[in-house]
């Protein structure tokens, strides 16, 4: 089976990349369901599993099976390059209940009772699911996002250079074994109903993913076409240091400063940190000044930029040594 999109030159001009915190959140639930299949995320799983007793995941797990179809209303294709999680959740809340009920019926679930409850009153079901996703984000992924965002950002930069240097053929050459470019067609081989059609007017959005590994995923009409693929370097995501900011470190420094200290494992500028963490450059500068005053980070000028990195004391504190 395959999903085949036909491209015109104008369609190629509308090709774009985007990140999605909501996509990472939803696909991370599959790691909880089948950790053996997603073994590279075990450091993350060990870190968050003790917290999961705080959230009732019953309905989410019923709607998000270990493999196969996930209701598209839970993962709407991102409408901006870097959507805010709160904005994405609001899009879920605005789902037409009839659409949600229809998509829930397609889920290959082992908990038909929970799905039936959702479909009995999909308007309330959508709001319940959105609430649970918010709860799950707070305990399981919010602290991870800076690290994951860094991985996704690096993938997009690398693939953008590939696109600029060699065009779409070069871009898709090593995106994933299941994805191939043939003339004016993009073919994605998947276990799903076959589909072939012209590219929609909105164009294709490519979404690199950490928790989607090792699979590719596709969404098509009536949604904007989306192709999600494993980000480059995902195998090293948790290999350098702890998988998230430890609670003790956040309690000591404050959550924002703990995130900054974690993020400067490699030298980064104030602007890069601000973009990665969703803060203003002024706020980042203030936090860096406090961390530098405590001997945890140091700055080094490189051209017009000052790059900040952890000191040995900062490394020891961030790693819990």
* Residue spans per domain, the chain: 2-16+147-235, 20-141, 245-319
Question: Span 31-46, mean pLDDT?
Answer: 90
Average of per-residue pLDDT values in the chain: 89
Q: Which stretches of the chain are assigned E, i.e. beta strand?
A: 2-6, 16-17, 179-182, 185-189, 195-198, 205-209, 217-219, 226-230, 268-269, 297-302, 305-310
Q: How confident is the model at residue 118 (pLDDT cuts 50, 70, 90)?
A: very high
Residue 293 reports pLDDT greater than 80 = yes
Question: Span 27-53, mean pLDDT?
Answer: 90
Q: Which percentage of the chain shows pLDDT scores above 90?
A: 53
Q: How confident is the model at residue 211 (pLDDT cuts 50, 70, 90)?
A: very high
Structural tokens at position 262: 């974690």
Q: Is the CB of residue 44 less than 8 Å from the CB of residue 144?
A: yes
Higher pLDDT: 243 or 216? It is 216
Nearest to 210 by CA among 263, 138, 153: 153
Residue 312 reports pLDDT greater than 70 = yes
Q: Which percentage of the chain shows pLDDT scores above 70?
A: 96
Q: Is the CB of residue 206 less than 8 Å from the CB of residue 16?
A: yes
Q: What is the CATH number of domain 245-319?
A: 1.10.10.10
First to last CA, the chain: 51
pLDDT given at position 245: 59
Residue 240 reports pLDDT greater than 60 = no
pLDDT given at position 254: 86
pLDDT given at position 237: 87
Contacts of 69 (CB under 8 A, 6+ apart): 106, 107, 108, 192
The region of weakest confidence among 116-125, 198-207, 216-225, 243-252 is: 243-252
Structural tokens at position 192: 């799903």
Q: What's the rounded Cα separation, in Å, for the pair 162 and 9?
A: 18
Other CB atoms within 10 A of residue 295 CB: 12
Angle between helices 97-104 and 122-140 (to 10 degrees): 80
Question: Span 240-249, mean pLDDT?
Answer: 60
Phi, psi of 269 (to 5 degrees): -85, 165
pLDDT given at position 236: 85
Phi, psi of 188 (to 5 degrees): -120, 115
- Sign, CA torsion 69/118/116/224: negative
Q: How confident is the model at residue 11 (pLDDT cuts 50, 70, 90)?
A: very high
pLDDT given at position 61: 95
pLDDT given at position 278: 75
Nearest to 247 by CA among 261, 258, 260, 263: 258
Q: How confident is the model at residue 140 (pLDDT cuts 50, 70, 90)?
A: very high
Contacts of 186 (CB under 8 A, 6+ apart): 4, 5, 7, 172, 179, 180, 204, 227
pLDDT given at position 28: 96
Question: Span 138-143, mean pLDDT?
Answer: 89
């Amino acid at each position: 089976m395959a999903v085949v999109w036909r491209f015109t030159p104008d369609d190629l001009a509308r090709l774009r990349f985007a990140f999605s915190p909501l996509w990472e959140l939803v696909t991370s639930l599959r790691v909880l369901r089948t950790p053996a299949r997603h073994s590279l995320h075990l450091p993350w799983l060990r870190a968050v599993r003790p917290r999961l007793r705080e959230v009732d995941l019953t309905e989410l797990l019923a709607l998000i099976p270990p493999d196969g179809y996930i209701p598209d209303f839970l993962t709407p294709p991102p409408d901006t390059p870097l959507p805010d999680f709160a904005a994405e959740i609001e899009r879920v809340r605005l789902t037409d209940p009839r659409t949600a009920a229809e998509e829930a019926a397609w889920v290959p679930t082992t908990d038909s009772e929970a799905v039936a409850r959702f479909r009995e009153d999909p308007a309330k079901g959508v709001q319940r699911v959105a609430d649970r996703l918010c709860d799950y984000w707070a305990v399981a992924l919010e602290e991870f996002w800076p690290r994951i965002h860094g991985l996704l950002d690096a993938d997009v930069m690398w693939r953008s250079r590939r696109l600029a240097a060699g065009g779409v053929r070069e871009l898709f050459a090593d995106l994933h074994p299941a994805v191939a470019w043939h003339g004016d067609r993009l073919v994605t081989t998947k276990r799903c109903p076959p589909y072939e059609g012209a590219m929609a007017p909105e164009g294709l959005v490519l979404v690199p993913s950490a928790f989607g590994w090792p699979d590719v995923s596709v969404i098509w009409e009536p949604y904007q076409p989306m192709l999600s693929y494993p980000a480059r370097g995902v195998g090293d995501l948790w290999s350098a240091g702890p998988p998230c900011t430890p609670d003790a470190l956040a309690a000591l420094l404050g959550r924002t400063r703990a995130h900054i200290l974690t993020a400067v494992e490699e030298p980064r500028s104030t602007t890069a940190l601000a973009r990665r963490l969703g803060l203003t450059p002024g706020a980042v500068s203030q936090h860096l000044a406090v961390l530098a005053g405590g001997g945890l980070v140091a700055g080094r000028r490189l051209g017009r930029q000052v790059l900040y990195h952890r000191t040995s004391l900062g490394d020891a504190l961030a790693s819990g040594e």
